[in-house]
A = this chain, B = another copy of it.
């Protein structure tokens, strides 16, 4: 067939139903190859899952969703692939209030995270909001902080309202 190489149509693994035509995802394959890395059915599964996710997802959730597509998926493969994808800039991760990993797919803009300890909700803070502080750290200490990994824990407006203090 003269199909111009849609990634993942030739799977033997049950790697999802709809092949992601998204150029972002197909480019991952090339980027892996460019770094001497490989394109495998397992990685395709994970990319399919990521493509179908939005917002923040925990590591365990990603493993679970991969299993829904391919029950043979093992955690180690998922976590290792997520590491690779983070190197490629496809995902970013930070740690929630309890230290567990949360991943964000292809963030449109770099951002940090706020977690309310009381209600558990979370918000994103734009780079602009924290840039002044990061800039100060850079100037005074030469420390270059990773915004994406930043997670501030505290109490949100609503929860402060309820229990004044």
By secondary structure, the A interface counts as: mixed
Contacts A143-B155, A150-B152 supplied; 15 other A-B pairs, CB < 8 Å: A95-B99, A97-B149, A99-B100, A114-B141, A114-B145, A123-B141, A130-B133, A133-B133, A137-B152, A143-B152, A143-B154, A144-B154, A144-B160, A149-B153, A150-B153
Chain A window 51-66, contacts with chain B (Cβ cutoff 8 Å), 1 for yes, 0 for no:
0000000000000000
Q: A144-B160, A146-B154 are in contact. Are A137 and B114 (CB under 8 A)?
A: yes
Set of chain B residues within 8 Å of A101, measured between Cβ atoms = 99
Set of chain B residues within 8 Å of A84, measured between Cβ atoms = none
Chain A window 91-110, contacts with chain B (Cβ cutoff 8 Å), 1 for yes, 0 for no:
00001010111000000000
